[in-house]
Structure 1
């Protein structure tokens, strides 16, 4: 139950980059689990000797706050105690001096509450308060349920503080931002490791500690390199070389020298011995991206390396033994290429011992809020923006509905474009919406041309003409000539149409 609650709660916290909206989604879910009337968040600011309330949500509304409550020196010392419990149940508010001093000034009706501290290492950032207007409302089971929510709540607080430009007053929060992100479904740099990519990460865990070759499959832009890196980092070779090679970017004439290296004098310009990518990866992992782009001649030499674990430099005669793990990746259908004779079957069998299929982004929309947060933060740092641009919930919904043919890579580019257009926020992604249908008039009749129905995959022009002429003949009842005929409808000479029909094999 706790795992389900954590997952659902995290999804709601990631529903918006506005803290009050996130807290509102979270509250409406958690009130089904806890006897609460509201949730608030505050920051502990010992330098100013105060607590600042930053957000609140209840049944009526959700709002960002900027109310500050001053503290005495003694209260600051109490809040700074390292052994202060992370979660405390206060069923009668008057029994806790600091809480009784602070909370009723903002929320007068509070009678009992659970306080959960947001902590990074030993630094107390602030508190999330789950409160009730009724005394004695909470039990230990309620505290156990929410304990795992601390890191997600701390992360959305970090994003909000960046937006409010308060990070200067909370340097510890800025220093721990990356740690918090990793705690929230960003494991080994994989966003969505516990959500849309959960099955993929289970496969990574299963194969990582072995030295078996791995083949990563998936559309362009899904993050095959990220998964390859996760395999390496989970393996016993972590900390050893991880050499990345884009097979499609190396000219055929340079493949051997780049992959296997060369000896001095092997060819003009070879003034000294050079190690190839395979030799550089000795002891570690080599990642062969776009393996389907290798020509057949290079596939033969790669197969020999996989079978014998040895290479020979260009211009050399000595076999060099290597200790290498091979991870390959491609967006192409290698089995179909094998059938067409474009990829060696024996190499396919050698590589595809353990294939990992990465789902496209459109099939894991639950990861989009996290990816959006990550991308916005990355672009904020890239462009050195003073504040974190916000994404309103309607725009986040638009991102979730978009099909993402270019997957994660396209999403990063889209968010970069949005940040360039509106660096101060809120970000606008309306440019992702399909084009409006075009209305043209032919012979006093309006015809709608809808470009949004056209996909990215095209067919040969002659096939399209064949289909269109056949459709015109169907509309005209097979009539080619005369009034109401296909030639008139298509505005072409009847003889030209008849000639085109003959060429395309169309019978009237």
Structure 2
């Protein structure tokens, strides 16, 4: 065989697979037809430890294990002279008894004598190892065979590099999978601890989630703000066959309208100013797992149309792209708003409502599951005390009664916040929660939206007047609208910048404008 044909054939064999064993097995079969050899082996050399480590070795068509070889200082020095000489690509050893290192190699492979070709393998000029092709007798190769084997250095180096990098990537992948499984177990354990009342006040809810968990049917979680919709969505994901895949959360009310498509569907490089690289959206990131769309009622109508199309066709297009990408994500939605009323008002698409509400699950408010309060109290006292570094205080019987008597308009989230606040203020003192049921200025709750100064010294901008709604408790939207209007009046209608309403409220200006549009609050600076 001509040298060029031999080189092309060997390169094709070696570069056709990332599996080192298959590459060497196929190479051995090829060489058996062209110029039979007894041994083909790959060695990695550890320069610091002076150890020759065998990666793979084929002897007469079968793989065999060869122990590591520790090189003496004297032999190491001579060996590295050849190994570091970039001009020396290969070395022919006619008789292994003529060199000290080859004598030691003979002992390691239990062969009295051999002859063969040693190819020095270098990556970007740095010596990393050697490959050997040998026969079990001295002076066994002809000049023509030596010439053919001299062309092996380059393709064998490629094989070694591919094998090393493939093994590294596989090791990283295996480690990531192990880490992911560990984190999933830890998250499941942690989340499982926070579903307080799964066997009492939330039993009916958990039973429904258990029934639907094994399907891909869209689930809509309905309930007031603070009842724990995201926690239950995560629980549904963990109970499903998709538990080992991603659980991705999107708060539809927190996305500026102009960015909805980019967040949900991703974008291509150059799609708009600032799009310096391709970015996957939430649908792609949730592929194989669960996508939780919280506050779905806040999604703009235009985005609702595109979401409906994705749910029907199971495909998306990134912003700035024209390629349809298949997606497979189980959809779970949540809202505290009355979507039926929004549909009647034309603010939510009826066809999307039907698509998402295939399996609605109502989550009861805390005031309807008072039996869970002692368990929630114990849980929050423990977790908040540990996080804050405050000794866990006792709670009086009166304190338990006060917790039961309170109406909990903010549900479990409010209870968590109140307990955390009382821990900070009390610093380990006995808790009575006596302030919970004291009458307040708004006749709603003693914990206003923003912590304010005492009533007699508070400014008009931070003090809310009573809300006349005819109900004992105003809706959250009514309180929010009034609060935003009072803040705007104080700021003379200014939204952005220093002394603007957004800065005073501690939110992004675009988020404030979005809420103002939703609550029908007029824009414009007052003069």
Matches within 5 A, 1:338-377: 338-377=343-382
Q: Deviations over 1:136-163 (max 9, x none)?
A: xxxxxxxxxxxxxxxxxxxxxxxxxxxx
The partner residue of 1:241 within 240, 243, 246 is: 246
The partner residue of 2:258 within 249, 253, 267 is: 253
Q: Structure 1's 372 and 333: CA in aligned 2 closer, same or farther, altered over 3 A?
A: same
* Alignment correspondent of 1:172: none
**How many Å separate the matches in 1 of 2:341 and 2:399?**
39
**How many Å separate the matches in 2 of 1:353 and 1:435?**
42
Q: Is the 8 A contact 1:418 1:428 kept in 2?
A: no
Q: Structure 1's 269 and 225: CA in aligned 2 closer, same or farther, altered over 3 A?
A: same
Q: CA deviation at 1:187?
A: 4.3
Q: CA deviation at 1:428?
A: 2.9
**How many Å separate the matches in 2 of 1:394 and 1:188?**
27
Q: Deviations over 1:392-418 (max 9, x none)?
A: 121011101100000001000110111
Q: CA deviation at 1:455?
A: 3.0
**How many Å separate the matches in 2 of 1:202 and 1:346?**
28
The partner residue of 1:270 within 264, 268, 275 is: 275
* Alignment correspondent of 2:424: 420
Q: Deviations over 1:197-225 (max 9, x none)?
A: 00000001000111111000000000001
* Alignment correspondent of 1:435: 439
**How many Å separate the matches in 1 of 2:398 and 2:194?**
27
Q: CA deviation at 1:350?
A: 0.3
| TM-score normalised by the chain length of structure 1 | 0.50
Q: For 2:424, what is the secondary structure of its paired residue?
A: helix
Q: Is 1:400 aligned to 2:417, yes or no?
A: no
Deviates more, 1:349-358 or 1:376-385: 376-385
- Unaligned runs of 5+ residues in structure 1 are 1-177, 439-449, 461-508
Larger radius of gyration: 2
Q: Is 1:301 aligned to 2:318, yes or no?
A: no
Q: Is 1:383 aligned to 2:388, yes or no?
A: yes
- Unaligned runs of 5+ residues in structure 2 are 1-184, 443-465, 479-527
Q: Is the 8 A contact 2:467 2:474 kept in 1?
A: no
Q: CA deviation at 1:425?
A: 2.3
Aligned-residue CA RMSD in angstroms?
Answer: 2.8
Q: For 2:220, what is the secondary structure of its paired residue?
A: strand
Matches within 5 A, 1:149-160: none
Q: Structure 1's 451 and 303: CA in aligned 2 closer, same or farther, altered over 3 A?
A: closer
Q: Is 1:457 aligned to 2:474, yes or no?
A: yes
Q: For 2:198, what is the secondary structure of its paired residue?
A: coil
Q: For 2:267, what is the secondary structure of its paired residue?
A: coil
**How many Å separate the matches in 1 of 2:282 and 2:289?**
11
Matches within 5 A, 1:62-211: 187=192, 189-211=194-216
Task: Give the number of aligned pairs.
Answer: 268
| TM-score normalised by the chain length of structure 2 | 0.48
* Alignment correspondent of 1:229: 234
**How many Å separate the matches in 2 of 1:291 and 1:230?**
19
**How many Å separate the matches in 2 of 1:334 and 1:221?**
18
* Alignment correspondent of 1:411: 415
* Alignment correspondent of 1:219: 224
* Alignment correspondent of 2:291: 286
Q: Deviations over 1:223-252 (max 9, x none)?
A: 001110110000000021000000000000
Q: CA deviation at 1:436?
A: 7.6
Q: For 1:456, what is the secondary structure of its paired residue?
A: coil
Q: For 1:191, what is the secondary structure of its paired residue?
A: coil
Q: For 1:306, what is the secondary structure of its paired residue?
A: helix
**How many Å separate the matches in 1 of 2:346 and 2:193?**
37
